A and B are shown apart, each in its own frame.
Chain A
Amino acid sequence: MAGSSGRTKRKIRWSKLYSFACFRPVTTENDPSQLLGQPGFSRVVFCNEPQLHKAKPYKYPKNYVSTTKYNVMTFLPKALFEQFRRVANLYFLLAAVLSVTSLAPFQPISLIAPLVFVVGVSMIKEAVEDWHRFLQDLNVNSRTVKVHIGDGEFIEKPWQGLCVGDVVKVNKNEYFPSDLLLLSSSYEDGICYVETMNLDGETNLKVKRCSEATLGLVNDQSFGLFRATVCCEDPNPHLYTFVGNLELKNASFPLCPASLLLRDSKLRNTDYIYGVVIFSGPDTKAVRNSTRSPSKRSRIERKMDLVIYLLFSMLLLISLVTSIGFAEFLKTEMIKWWYLSLDDNDPFFQPQRPEVSGFLQFIRALILYGYLIPISLYVSIEVVKVLQAMLINKDIKLYDEVTCKSVQTRTSNLNEELGQVEMILSDKTGTLTCNQMEFRKCSIAGISYGGDVNEIDRAASKRMNVDVESYCFSIDEFETASQSCEMFEFSVGDISTERAILGGQRHEQNYSSAENSRISNVEEEFAIKGFNFRDGRLMNKKWMYRSNLSDVTMFFRVMALCHTGIPVEEDELTHKLKYEAESPEEVSFLVAAQEFGFQFFRRSQSSMFLKEFDPPTGKEVERKYKLLNLLEFCSARKRMSVIVSDEDGQIILLCKGADNIIFDRLAENGRSYQQATTLHLSNYAEDGFRTLAFAYRKLEAAEYEQWNSIFKVAKTTIGPEREEVLEKASEMIEKDLILLGVAAVEDKLQKGVPECIDKLAQAGIKIWLLTGDKKETAINIGFACSLLRQDMKQFHLSLGRETATIPTNNQLKAMKDDILNQLESFHKLKSEEGNDNAPLALVVDGKALEIALRSDVKDQFLPLAVNCASVICCRVSPKQKALITRLVKEHTGKTTLAIGDGANDVGMIQEADIGVGISGMEGMQAVMASDIALPQFRFLGRLLIVHGHWCYKRISKMVLYFVYKNIALGLTLFYYELYSRFAGEVFYDDWYMALFNVILTSLPVISLGVLEQDVSSEVCLQFPALYQQGMKNIYFTWYRIIGWIVNGVVASLVIFLANIYTFSPNAFQKNGQVADITHLGAMTYTCIIWTVNCQIALIINRFTWIQHLFIWGSIMIWYVFLLVYGAFPPAYSQRGFRVLIEALGPAPLYWAVTLFVVVVSLLPYFIHIVIQRSFYPLDDHVIQEMKHCRKDVADKQMWERERSNSMKMTQVGVSARVDARIRVLKEQLHHKKQLIYRSVTSSPIFRSLTNSPA
């Protein structure tokens, strides 16, 4: 309630503006009301009679919205089903079931426990994630809203309690609980302002207005007896359509989309509204528009499935060999083995029916060799991913001080996918920009103010100066170094002032630009929101010393008068006002005007009041301007005008609009600044500023009156031609304008966005910008983020004309041809260009995109789009965003990442391989749908380039190692069968086997998965090009996978053969003892433990104490286990009794064989990495070596050179832009040098010097 004092100032209601406005929102449909009652349009709502909706046929769902996957009942079956869709899990389930029968080679517990653990962990994870979703739902569903309960009484109710037909009252800045039909608002004419950013990403406020029939319902009491019936369309996902009829007191009123308030949008600038619930809960358009979040799996995990299948086929193969071999030997040999006395009816050993025994043996073998399928891989990966996610969440460098939030990995199974992203699809508002406009620069009367040298130029000249030193020595020998340097400085200065020369005031400009660049060097935080402008020539009322004072004044007047804003609050200390307006641009203009001394402080029904600084007197005077007409801004007109008369009765038309629109309407004598202004415009545009041109026109009273009468007629026109008539009328007056200048506002980028985009671009990631905003804005942001630059070839794909209605088939075909023609011409242009180096940029309009993504056009469209360095899609709907994402993903097969902050990005976030939500903003929908929530866009760079890179390498190394490790163990079991006529005896003790994946080899691989780093995070960020290893997936190719399988096979062979041939049949101890099955099992197993643990030591690049502890500890644990196990009495330890201290330990042969086996089984891999590292090093190897030799410190120049080399392929981003700029500068320098050379050589002095004999 503290803010109410400010609100009392609002005597002037926004809606009043519309009494001047020429365009009211009108329905464009022909007459959709005739559709009512037909299929698809059958809904009936009894307003204010929710009790009628409690029973059929008018029973509609409650307003409860659920995004959870499961509920209490469905959790168990659904989650179990999900789990056992994984083939490996199904296999283990089967094995566990069989383990209770006599078929199993192991104890049941050793098969059931890991399965229960794996499935249990995954299910708990699912449950926890779903629980969080439920809590978020609960939070949304229990928000409260005022609901009418009869007799004009309103009480607070939770959202979920709402019913169709309820009348609700929504206050300012509250979200609408469901789709409401607007009945009336705090404004007398029943309009309200709505922010739909969450729905479609558009930032400007939308005007909604109620039907005239319900205008009278102005207060709570009037609803006591209110009854009405609404017939309307059935629930559907179309955000921009609504067809309905309101029946009130036997009269019928048509309803249009303008009176429907959608869930997930927000009431703005309106104190309160009354509405009736039309669609509730799952019927609302916002919910209908959302899709269920799919469960995502990473690329590596999907490939891992294939690896598992490969191992499966290996398993099947050796099981088959086992069973066939067994049956064969059973029939031919074993029958003769009297010591087996095969005469009873043991089904496993029936020589009479070898096929039955063989089949049983097959099933047994499937379980026996199950160690080939790493069940623990799933557990370990889950554990590792959770730990990885924890480390990502804990990264201080991903913590945002402002919002006090850190990164939040909501689903941990995509960690490694972060290292393989090839394409980022980004939302604009709220993601790249903070939806805040700042007044940055202006060009008044052909002079540009507000700093001239931009960041790019500064960076370029800075880098050039460094380079110049080396450059100096290479140039013509008769010029001294100092001369050339001087000349270069001159040339840089020249370029930045060239425009000024055109402007015609050379000296002054030269001076001021130097001053400006110095000013802009000093980065100062501006206290005034929306105003980031510094220029000594204008600030502090200095503008009054300018020439063209009248134009300057008029410029400021346009800023202060040509708008729809209102002052809302006054700062007590500075007496500065705050404003509210339809778009943030207008606010920034008002703020700027105030700063320049033109404070707009009051608006009345028909007047606007300014506090103007009057240059002749030097005092502040209050002036009143009568507002005669307001020609409203709309996207088709791209301009807005006000017609005011000042205190002297002079009628002036003030106009602001897009530059080309204004330039077309200039008077002959109004073009004096056009040339200079155009130049400034292009500069501003390149800096990514949004520009608006200002112009004015003085009107004679007679002319105005004549026009006004026409306009009045137009305004009262009713019917479809109204728009056209109005357009014509405004055309008549908005002409013969006099150009004043342009103002540039910056759609403020979020902190660190350009740098982040730069890094991502260097990493080779393509960035697509998808925005609901209009094309100009999108292009501006493209420039601001350096996604676009001036020397890029821009393709614009758009439809010739826009059609609001649903197109007919013929129109559709025409549009398709249009698009196809455009695409063809692009292709032609591209091939004509010839050089592939020229970066391309594609700008697509939403409507054109819709056509371009149709099945028969997309094959032409997508290849072109993918080839472009940057792609900007503007005016795209949420559905289109999702569609683009899916098509790009499917067509290119590339890993996509979508990042956004609002509900309009949800589709895209869910569709992409990785969805990232921005959690800094208030809306939670994007975060709820996302896989990873970031507080700010700028953290994306570190998340991908550091954590993604690490996680990718970790997981791929881990999976490969797992495959190796299990093959190394599993195959020895098979070899043993070869030596026992496939009889199916297990080589190792059950305990050894059970411990293998749980204790003896699990911790080192987890430490690999969590802590491994090829290079440190700093180096990752210094060399973003390293990221491409993940994009190319060079660590998980089939070549590598097969390589590791072969490595595992080799290791198992070495281990097995070395053991059996050294230990059998001779004695292995000095006392003549020979080894039995237990001894040999323990010996072989020792070798396996040593080998697999030493193998991981060879993989790991970075040893902290943890890795050392885990690796060497695991080996130690094996011996400790043998000791402890052997110390138990034989009743428990069975044949493992005293195996180490009695048999193995005292035998030197045991230790000798261990050493031998470890060295030999690791030798092939070792030789492989030695050859690779020595002669075919990968990038990370070389960089490791550079770091190792401390070359980054010792040879800084080389380090920097390599850093810049690594990014020379990038085409977007700040650095690329600086590079491009440097190229241009160098060319100019070269050109200039040649000129000088020519002038010098052709000068008579030089000739005389050279011609004169030495």
Chain B
Amino acid sequence: MDAKDGASDLTSSTKKKSRRPKYSQFTQQELPACKPILTPAWVILIFVAIGIVFLPIGFASLFASEHVVEIVNHYDRDCVPPNYVDNKLAYIQSSKTNKTCIRRVTIPKQMKSPVYIYYQLDHFYQNHRRYVKSRSDGQLRSKSNEKKTDTCAPERYTANGAIVPCGLVAWSLFNDTYKFSVNNKQLGVSKKDITWKSDPKKKFGSDVYPKNFQSGGLIGGAKLNSSIPLSEQEDLMVWMRTSTLPTFRKLYGKIEADLEADDIVTVTIENNYNTYIFGGNKKLVLSTASWIGGKNCLLGIAYLTVGGLCLFLAISFLLLYLFKPRPLGDTSYLSWNRSAPGGHIY
């Protein structure tokens, strides 16, 4: 009996021993660690470093932006014939009025090819929820999904069947057209590669052809050639990439020729798209692009401002540290010394 007790005692004591927590740096919270401290030197170094990095980037982007030549032509107001000025809606909604409009733009600086042609709309809310969701990506991708129009309300089907491409986005496709000529010489507008490369490959099927499009009661925007598959309808693909903000540009095409300074480009505009009803603007933009894209001074200025500010902060902190130094670990700042003479009260 006793022996048994002894044995059980022994086991229980070894069992107890194992209850001691095992040592590891993690459980004892003693992992090696770096404990960076904001010393004055570091503060100044960081500010200077930001300044040193930011200023060149700012200059570079400003420089790049300056190199971009951008011409913006606001045409919707001027393209309305004088007799329709007070009734622009009637002008645009009537099928009988002449929508052709000639604009002349002077090239201020040489524009190296490619020159990108954009149309810009203002106050057009492509980001409206009802609008954004009114499309069927599945239908666009493949012929087999032709009937998938449940997200496309209210442009889902006509009496003849499902609309391809369905939905409000496609239905409201932009339908102004531009033709360019310099010195009476026609300029070719390339519509190749104005979309993201993945669009024709993966998102718009080569077996999907427009069907019942713009054949319902209400005509929205442009019509599509029903013999060309969607994967080649570049304007549609561009339009279907809904914009973030109510002011947006979309690529119309490219001019694959250099435009010289002081050239006068004649643009023949078919002014079809109705922005008059909601007071939107239409602009034609010709622009070159650099490594930062289009003309964009904002970023350069912002970079320069922040870089300059940081250098200024570096200097001001340097001065502060010089005139009002606080030695690292100055014990007079400790709360229990503050009430004592020589302590810092604040």
A interface, CB within 8 angstroms of B: 2, 333-334, 336-344, 346, 348-349, 391, 393-396, 399, 401, 404-406, 950, 976, 979-981, 983-985, 1011, 1013, 1017, 1025, 1028, 1058, 1060-1078, 1080-1081, 1101-1106, 1129-1131, 1134-1135, 1137-1138, 1142-1143, 1147-1149, 1152-1153, 1155-1156, 1159-1160, 1163, 1166-1167, 1169-1170, 1173-1179, 1182-1189, 1191, 1198, 1201-1202, 1205-1206, 1208-1209
Q: For chain B, residues 160 to 193, give those with C-beta under 8 angstroms from any C-beta of chain A.
A: 168, 171-172, 193
Do the beta carbons of A1075 and B326 come within 8 Å of each other?
A: no
B296 to chain A, nearest CB (A): 5
Do the beta carbons of A1072 and B36 come within 8 Å of each other?
A: no
When A and B form their complex, which 3 residue pairs have the shortest distance between CB atoms, in order from nearest?
Answer: A1066-B294, A1186-B329, A1072-B116
Residues in A with CB closer than 8 Å to B335 are: 1025, 1028, 1178-1179
In the complex, whether B130 has a CB less than 8 A from a CB of chain A is yes
A1137 with B203: in contact, given A1066-B295, A1182-B331 (CB under 8 Å)? yes
A1004 to chain B, nearest CB (A): 15
Bound together, the chains give a CA A1105 to CA B32 distance in angstroms of: 8
Residues in B with CB closer than 8 Å to A1153 are: 299
B interface, CB within 8 angstroms of A: 2, 16-17, 19-23, 27-29, 31-40, 43, 46, 50, 53-54, 57, 61, 114, 116, 118, 120, 124-132, 137-138, 141, 153-155, 168, 171-172, 193-194, 196-198, 202-203, 218, 220-221, 241-251, 254, 274, 277-278, 287, 289-296, 298-299, 302-303, 306, 310, 313, 317, 320-321, 324, 326, 328-331, 333-337, 346
Residues in B with CB closer than 8 Å to A1208 are: 336
Do the beta carbons of A1170 and B250 come within 8 Å of each other?
A: no
Do the beta carbons of A1062 and B31 come within 8 Å of each other?
A: no
A1137 with B202: in contact, given A1152-B61, A1198-B331 (CB under 8 Å)? yes
A1182 with B33: in contact, given A985-B129, A1066-B293, A1072-B289 (CB under 8 Å)? no
Of B19, B138, B306, B317, the contact of A406 (CB 8 Å cutoff)? B19
A406 with B21: in contact, given A1185-B37, A1205-B334 (CB under 8 Å)? yes
Residues of A contacting B: mostly: helix
Bound together, the chains give a CA A1064 to CA B313 distance in angstroms of: 31
Do the beta carbons of B43 and A341 come within 8 Å of each other?
A: no
Interface centre among B28, B198, B250, B292 (most CB of A within 10 A): B292
Residues in A with CB closer than 8 Å to B34 are: 1102-1103
The contact sample of 23 A-B pairs, CB cut-off 8 A, is A333-B278, A336-B278, A337-B278, A341-B154, A341-B171, A346-B154, A401-B20, A979-B244, A1058-B302, A1068-B292, A1070-B291, A1071-B193, A1072-B254, A1073-B251, A1074-B243, A1080-B244, A1143-B196, A1174-B317, A1179-B335, A1179-B336, A1185-B37, A1188-B39, A1205-B331
Do the beta carbons of B21 and A395 come within 8 Å of each other?
A: yes
Do the beta carbons of A1065 and B19 come within 8 Å of each other?
A: no
Interface centre among B20, B287, B290, B346 (most CB of A within 10 A): B20
Residues in B with CB closer than 8 Å to A1106 are: 31
Do the beta carbons of A1068 and B293 come within 8 Å of each other?
A: yes
Do the beta carbons of A340 and B333 come within 8 Å of each other?
A: no
Of B203, B242, B278, the contact of A1076 (CB 8 Å cutoff)? B242
A834 to chain B, nearest CB (A): 20
A1065 with B29: in contact, given A1071-B289, A1186-B331, A1198-B331 (CB under 8 Å)? no
A1149 with B130: in contact, given A406-B21, A983-B125, A1156-B303 (CB under 8 Å)? no
A348 with B334: in contact, given A339-B168, A396-B28, A1160-B306 (CB under 8 Å)? no
Bound together, the chains give a CA A333 to CA B279 distance in angstroms of: 10
A1142 with B197: in contact, given A979-B246, A1074-B118, A1080-B244 (CB under 8 Å)? yes
Residues in B with CB closer than 8 Å to A1058 are: 302
Of A406, A1078, A1163, A1175, the contact of B326 (CB 8 Å cutoff)? A1175
Residues in A with CB closer than 8 Å to B40 are: 1174
Residues in A with CB closer than 8 Å to B20 are: 396, 399, 401, 404, 406
Residues in B with CB closer than 8 Å to A343 are: 154
Do the beta carbons of B127 and A985 come within 8 Å of each other?
A: yes
Bound together, the chains give a CA A1170 to CA B320 distance in angstroms of: 12
Known contacts A336-B278, A1148-B292; can you find 7 more A-B pairs with CB under 8 A? A337-B278, A394-B28, A404-B20, A1080-B244, A1143-B196, A1149-B292, A1186-B328
Residues in A with CB closer than 8 Å to B153 are: 344, 346
Bound together, the chains give a CA A1160 to CA B114 distance in angstroms of: 35
Residues in A with CB closer than 8 Å to B290 are: 1070
Of B129, B293, B299, the contact of A984 (CB 8 Å cutoff)? B129
Do the beta carbons of B293 and A1065 come within 8 Å of each other?
A: no
Do the beta carbons of A338 and B35 come within 8 Å of each other?
A: no
Residues in A with CB closer than 8 Å to B124 are: 339
Of A333, A1072, A1174, A1178, the contact of B43 (CB 8 Å cutoff)? A1174
Bound together, the chains give a CA A1163 to CA B307 distance in angstroms of: 12
Bound together, the chains give a CA A1070 to CA B277 distance in angstroms of: 35
B239 to chain A, nearest CB (A): 10
Bound together, the chains give a CA A1078 to CA B241 distance in angstroms of: 8
